[in-house]
């Protein structure tokens, strides 16, 4: 942050070297007789009184402060500046600088409304406790995501509410060694809901259409898609972890046009956060929703019923499927498109079964 006050950190090596030098000087002085220097040379005795106050006498130069890179300023009492107080001061300064930029409009968003600074400093911080403490997400295979360039991450979709997409976004943001960001393709409903619309745009989500996906991939972005759509998150609990149809394979066509790899992603744990035991189609029509879930707690417990169950999650990214070896016209080949779609779907389904066998419990 430009306005943050930087306080240098302590370096034990620099302090140790200073302390050792002081001890060496002290031991040499103690070993010499009175009136003699360390090398046996006779030294004048100190003069007191008027001679000491003689203005013509050269004042002793104070010891030069240690200006080594790791040196840290000390206070009069010998204590060191910084520590917890310094860290708090930096955080407060950074927070005030952030607020100033937000209030003055001194920040940038891209053509899709993505606000990288707000996402990094605020939105991810709000999602991270749910990711780390509540769902205790375990991430596997994140190294399969390319370190640079465009790529399409395709995942299963479940959970009644689309929390799985948000958790996948945090997984990439926090664990990818190249600090990459995931841009999710979302359904139309997301962008007509108040508040949700604005937050989704700030997080980097955009409409699930081929045009937006191709623009992001062409810019070298990571794009996430969940082809099951509402069929996935709205399926009954009895059909959990059984993948629905992956649409018409439009995501494969998009990947072929841009020549980017497809990275399959399997998510275990999201199916049980809201066990959907029923669907009120009448209420869904009245509210304009694709479904209205009935769970063991919702709507019977009111707002409390909207709290998800604290299941244990695993997110695994599989080996990428390359598409750059196909000719440009391959995107118009329906046979190839369907074959690649089935390959991605089968890989995700196989990984789901494997993860389900490995997990000890839904909650642990």
Kindly report, residue by residue over 48-60, the tens digit of the pLDDT: 444 444 444 444 4
Q: What is the DSSP secondary structure assignment for residue 120, as one 8-state letter? A: I
pLDDT band at 326 (very low <50, low <70, confident <90, very high): very high
Mean of per-residue pLDDT scores for the chain: 82
CA 184/CA 171 separation, integer angstroms:
13
**Residues 6 or more apart in contact with residue 98 via CB below 8 angstroms:** 1, 117, 121
Please report where in the chains the tokens 């090596």 appear, as a residue.
13
Q: What is the pLDDT of residue 26?
A: 39
Q: What are the CA-CA distances from residue 131 to residues 128, 348, 359, 360 (Å)?
A: 5, 22, 18, 19
Of 22-26, 104-108, 173-177, highest mean pLDDT: 173-177
Contact between 230 and 290 under an 8 Å Cβ cutoff? The reply is yes
Strand 293-294 and strand 278-279: the pairing is: antiparallel
Residue 42 clears pLDDT 50, i.e. is over it: no
SS3 138: strand
Residue 12 clears pLDDT 70, i.e. is over it: no
Contact between 318 and 267 under an 8 Å Cβ cutoff? The reply is no
Residue 288 clears pLDDT 70, i.e. is over it: yes
Q: What is the DSSP secondary structure assignment for residue 26, as one 8-state letter? A: H
Q: What is the pLDDT of residue 178?
A: 95
Which of 268, 266, 262 lies closest to 343, judged by CA?
Answer: 262
Total Cβ atoms within 10 A of residue 237: 17
Q: What is the pLDDT of residue 232?
A: 94
SS3 79: coil
Q: What is the pLDDT of residue 83?
A: 58
Whole-angstrom Cα Rg for the chain: 32
pLDDT band at 84 (very low <50, low <70, confident <90, very high): low
> What's the residue count for the chain?
364
Residue 180 clears pLDDT 60, i.e. is over it: yes
**Residues 6 or more apart in contact with residue 96 via CB below 8 angstroms:** 3
Token pair listed for 79 = 């204590």
Q: What is the pLDDT of residue 247?
A: 80
Q: What is the pLDDT of residue 102?
A: 86
Which of 161, 325, 144 lies closest to 222, judged by CA?
Answer: 144
pLDDT band at 86 (very low <50, low <70, confident <90, very high): confident
Q: How many helices (H) and strands (E) does the chain have?
A: 11, 9
Q: For the whole prediction, is pTM greater than 0.85?
A: no
Least confident of 96-105, 106-115, 196-205, 349-358: 96-105
Residue 82 clears pLDDT 60, i.e. is over it: no
Least confident of 73-82, 244-253, 312-321: 73-82
Mean pLDDT, residues 164-184? 97
Q: What is the pLDDT of residue 243?
A: 96
332-358 in b/e form (b: 16+ CB < 10 A) is: eeeebbeebbeebbebbbebbeebeee
Mean pLDDT, residues 290-318? 95
The number of CA neighbours under 13 Å toward the Cβ of 91 is: 8
More confident residue, 94 or 72: 94
Which alpha helices (H) appear in the chain, and where do they start and end?
12-31, 83-104, 116-118, 124-129, 163-175, 196-202, 210-218, 230-233, 250-258, 281-287, 334-358
CA 34/CA 285 separation, integer angstroms:
102
């Amino acid at each position: 942050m430009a306005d943050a006050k930087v306080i240098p950190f302590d370096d034990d090596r620099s302090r140790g070297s200073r302390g050792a030098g002081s001890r060496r000087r002290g031991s040499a002085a103690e070993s010499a007789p009175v009136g003699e220097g360390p090398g046996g040379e006779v030294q004048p005795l100190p003069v007191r009184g008027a001679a000491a106050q003689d203005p013509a006498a050269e004042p002793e130069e104070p010891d030069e402060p240690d200006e080594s890179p790791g040196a840290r300023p000390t206070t009069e009492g010998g204590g060191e500046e910084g520590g917890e107080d310094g860290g708090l001061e930096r955080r407060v300064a950074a927070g005030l600088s952030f607020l100033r930029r937000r209030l003055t409009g001194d920040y940038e968003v891209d053509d899709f409304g993505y606000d990288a600074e707000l996402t990094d400093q605020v939105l991810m911080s709000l999602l991270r406790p749910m990711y780390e403490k509540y769902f205790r997400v375990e991430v596997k295979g994140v190294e399969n995501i390319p370190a640079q360039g465009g790529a399409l991450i395709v995942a299963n979709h479940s959970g009644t509410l689309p929390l799985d997409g948000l958790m996948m976004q945090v997984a990439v943001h926090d664990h990818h060694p190249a600090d990459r960001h995931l841009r999710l393709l979302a359904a139309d409903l997301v962008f007509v809901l108040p508040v949700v619309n604005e937050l989704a745009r700030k997080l980097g989500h955009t409409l699930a259409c081929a045009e937006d996906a191709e623009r992001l991939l062409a810019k070298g972005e990571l794009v996430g898609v969940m082809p099951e759509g509402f069929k996935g998150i709205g399926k009954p609990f009895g059909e959990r972890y059984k993948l629905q149809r992956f649409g018409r394979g439009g995501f494969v066509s998009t990947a072929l046009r841009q020549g980017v790899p497809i990275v399959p992603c399997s998510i275990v744990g999201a199916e049980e956060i809201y066990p959907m035991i029923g669907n009120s189609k009448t209420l869904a029509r009245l509210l304009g929703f694709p479904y209205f879930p009935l769970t063991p707690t919702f709507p019977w417990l009111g707002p409390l019923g909207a709290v998800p169950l604290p299941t244990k999650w695993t997110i695994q990214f599989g080996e990428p499927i390359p598409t750059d070896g196909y000719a440009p016209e391959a995107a118009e080949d329906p046979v190839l498109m369907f074959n690649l779609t089935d390959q991605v779907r089968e890989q995700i389904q196989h990984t789901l079964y494997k993860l389900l066998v490995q997990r000890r419990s839904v909650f642990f």
